Amino acid sequence: MAIVLLIKLLRMQYLRPLIAIAILILLLSCCTTFICIWLQHLSASFSPHPLSHNSYIFLGLIRVGGQTALDASNFTEGVRLVLTNAAVNFEEGVISWQDHHTHIRAYPISISVAEEIHLVHSAAGKRAADKIVPLLAEKTIMRVDRIDPAKNILNGFYGYAEMLEQHPELCGKIVFLAFLLPTRLTIPIYERYREDVISTIDKINKKYGSAKWIPIITFFDNDRTRTLSAMKYYDVLLVNPIVDGMNLIAKEGPVVNQRNGVCVLSRTAGAFKQLREAVIPISPMDIGETAKALYKALTLSDEERSTKWKLARQLVERDDLNLWFKHQIDDINKLLDPYAYGSIQKQPLG
């Protein structure tokens, strides 16, 4: 396979940096989305026939990375179900097939903490923040998402509406700022979903709003500087995807926030495993639970809010993008050393 040839070429010192980068790109390409495609293919391939060329590529790699340990485990299980002649060791995270060993490991992606803080404090960031401040209320809920059915935007708004229904005393005192990026509009299901989102926002604003108060204020564009700068001011950040490989918004928010903001996070988001102690968890399809979680987040004591925000920030700062790269570079270096290669045979999935 190509990856084997690359490693042989690494013996040429002048090629080592360039090829190491190439291998890293291959590793990074095996993210959650790619693994999901692989598993979907597997589910339709329960036959004795050989796997497709694309499927072979994965087991030609020396290491396959997933966003979470669950991704890595699911990939391994998919291989076990289809390649009955492969030796699969879940505990050690190794798949052995046709005299080749593929090591499976989770590499949860993170953010560049320093870069994002720098952007928020830049002149452009401050100008963007100045435009957001007049829109804030006593309490502010925010969300940042592509307009994608998987992001579960509608259920988030339904949960917000149910909270207003159950707690009318909040009307006029809170606001929901939604930063929504239209995407894949040439695909009918995405266009219909965008229309449903706009319609739902209009209905909620008409039902609960007044001449002096708009319950949901939306931004339909892609302005990263404004979005990051706005997140300085949330009291509650709603991140409720149906399923998500990671969701970096849940990590960006605590890093830039300056109001002890609390994140309401789906248990099905990849970031949940890392942040579970620092967030308020929800089941994304449970509108009632979402409403209760939003209310809880808004009414937490100052001490509880501060504790959760500080913990979330510490967790992200500890496992930032630099560490994410380092883990992969360290693993690549082990693979390049023939004496160290044996030491990675027993690395666990996570």
Q: How far apart are CA 268 and CA 332, in angstroms?
A: 30
Cα 216 to Cα 143, 175, 229, 239: the distances in Å are 11, 6, 19, 16
- From 97, 102, 91, select the one nearest 64 (Cα to Cα): 102
Output the six-digit token pair for 112. Answer: 């560049």
Higher-pLDDT residue of 307, 18 = 307
Contact of 83 with 51, CB cutoff 8 Å: yes
Band (88; pLDDT cuts 50, 70, 90): confident
The identity of residue 193, as a single letter, is: Y
* pLDDT, tens only, 139-154: 999 999 999 999 999 9
Cα 189 to Cα 184, 195, 296: the distances in Å are 9, 10, 33
- Poorest-confidence range of 28-37, 92-101, 174-183, 326-335? 28-37
Q: What is the pLDDT of residue 20?
A: 43
Domains and CATH numbers, the chain: 2-109+322-344 (no CATH), 113-319 (3.40.50.2000)
Asked if the model's pLDDT at residue 158 lies above 90, the reply is: yes
Strands of the chain, DSSP E: 63-66, 87-89, 94-97, 100-106, 139-146, 174-181, 216-220, 236-239, 262-266, 280-282
- From 71, 98, 88, select the one nearest 270 (Cα to Cα): 71
The pTM of the full predicted model, rounded to 2 decimals, is 0.78
Sequence-distant (6+) residues with CB within 8 A of 122 are 225
Q: Report CA Rg, the chain.
A: 23
The identity of residue 94, as a single letter, is: V
Higher-pLDDT residue of 203, 19 = 203
Output the six-digit token pair for 15. Answer: 């090629």
Cβ-based neighbour number of residue 335 at 10 Å: 19
Asked if the model's pLDDT at residue 77 lies above 60, the reply is: yes
**DSSP of 260-291:** --EEEEETTBTTHHHHGGGSEEE-TT-HHHHH
Sequence-distant (6+) residues with CB within 8 A of 1 are 57, 60, 61, 100
